[in-house]
Amino acid sequence: MNIDSIRNGIVIDHIEAGKGMDIYHFLRLDELDCSVAIIKNAASRKMGKKDIIKIDSALDIDLDALGYIDPDVSVNIIENGELVRKMHVELPEKITNIIKCNNPRCITSVEQEIPHIFKLTDRSRGVYRCIYCESVPKHKM
């Protein structure tokens, strides 16, 4: 398989195998007017298998969302065909409007203008709780 390199854009690497499409949909990459390559189950010495996303355009990426979806990804910024910056994401301390509280008694269920804010309460297990009602979301993305 041959996937061309990109001149200017972003490579999201070290995505846990199978999570590439979650990231693709969350970042709304289908709405971009540029080339986007999704490589699923690529061989990796470190991970066994991994997904990779190549975006042939510069854009702002929500690193907190990436950290929540998969805290082990790296984001590579490419300019003129060269790697100019490499960022490693991690679980963010707080996430806003990435997931929604599913507690029907939470203030966010009644007041629709209130942002859905979750705070990291257990880093080792990746547990987040709603700051308003302390509910844990049913599942990750």
Do both 48 and 113 map to the same domain?
no
The whole-number average pLDDT for the span 34-44 is: 91
pLDDT tens-digit readout, 48-57: 999 999 999 8
**pLDDT at res. 125:** 92
Domain hosting 119: range is 94-130
Q: How far apart are the first and last CA of the chain?
A: 29
In a domain, 24, yes or no: yes
Q: Is residue 2 part of a domain?
A: no
Which tokens hold the place of 80? 């003129």
Q: What is the pLDDT of residue 3?
A: 64
Q: Residues 105, 59: one domain?
A: no
For 48-95, what is each residue's pLDDT tens digit? 999 999 999 888 888 999 999 999 999 999 999 899 999 999 999 999
Q: How many domains in the chain?
A: 2
Same domain as 70, residue 30: yes
In this structure, the answer to whether residues 59 and 115 fall within a common structural domain is no
Lowest mean pLDDT among 1-5, 8-12, 52-56, 129-133: 1-5
Band the pLDDT of 5: cuts 50, 70, 90.
confident
20 touches 53 (CB < 8 A): yes
Q: What is the pLDDT of residues 106-125, one digit of tens each?
A: 999 889 899 999 999 999 99
Statement to judge: residues 74 and 120 lie in one domain: no
Considering the domain architecture, whether residues 75 and 102 belong to the same structural domain is answered as: no
Claim to verify: residue 49 and residue 84 sit in the same structural domain: yes
Tell me: do 43 and 61 sit in the same domain.
yes
Tell me whether residue 138 is in a domain: no
